[in-house]
Structure 1
Amino acid sequence: MDTVEVRMTNLFHQLGLDASEQGIANFIHAHHLPAEVHIVDAPFWSEAQRQFLDEMLKADARWAVLVDQLNESLHEPHRA
């Protein structure tokens, strides 16, 4: 049974990324995606990260909501 609380910081931990508030903001700022590129097709993921994201979305797991939020954030225009 998965008992990890579903939060963006824990999603970043699962992905092996800096899960601090600043780390998450920096990642999103540095990794803008064009509208036609889906989050799992982004070139900056490792294969393991890509598989994790894809599995979470396909399984409609409780992590899927956060993956969708991250996807939206990566597609938003960045402000200067």
Structure 2
Amino acid sequence: MDTSHHTLNDLFAQLGLSSDDGAIEDFLERHHLSGQEELSKADFWNDGQRKFLRDAIAEDANWCEVVDELDALLRH
């Protein structure tokens, strides 16, 4: 079991997205979640990304903290 601490950059790389700080800032400027919208159901993810995000939370995986961080950042 991988117990390492994952960063936001790691998460973006895992999702197949550009993971440098500038690319993450651009992503956060272009994408937002509203109200009770679930992170994994947002229309800007592909099916594989949705599954990864859904599983990370459902399984309380070692990715869940950084997935929660992304969720919070997308709500600002």
Same fold, TM exceeding 0.5? yes
Q: What is the CA–CA distance in structure 2 between the aligned matches of 1:65 and 1:3, rounded to whole Å?
A: 12
Residue 23 of structure 1 is matched in structure 2 by 23
Q: What is the CA–CA distance in structure 1 between the aligned matches of 2:3 and 2:67, rounded to whole Å?
A: 18
Displaced runs of 4 or more, over 2 A: 1-5
Q: What is the CA–CA distance in structure 2 between the aligned matches of 1:20 and 1:52, rounded to whole Å?
A: 20
> Which structure 2 residue ranges, 5 or more long, are not aligned?
none
2:2 aligned with 1:2: yes
Taking every aligned residue pair, what percent have the same amino acid on both sides? 37
SS at match of 1:19: coil
Work out the number of aligned pairs and report it.
76
Residue 47 of structure 1 is matched in structure 2 by 47
> Which structure 1 residue ranges, 5 or more long, are not aligned?
none
What amino acid does structure 2 have at the position aligned with 1:31? H
Residue 64 of structure 1 is matched in structure 2 by 64
RMSD (CA atoms): 1.4
Q: Say which structure, 1 or 2, has more relative contact order (CA 8 Å, 6+ apart).
A: 2
Q: What is the CA–CA distance in structure 2 between the aligned matches of 1:65 and 1:34, rounded to whole Å?
A: 20
What amino acid does structure 2 have at the position aligned with 1:25? E
Residue 74 of structure 1 is matched in structure 2 by 74
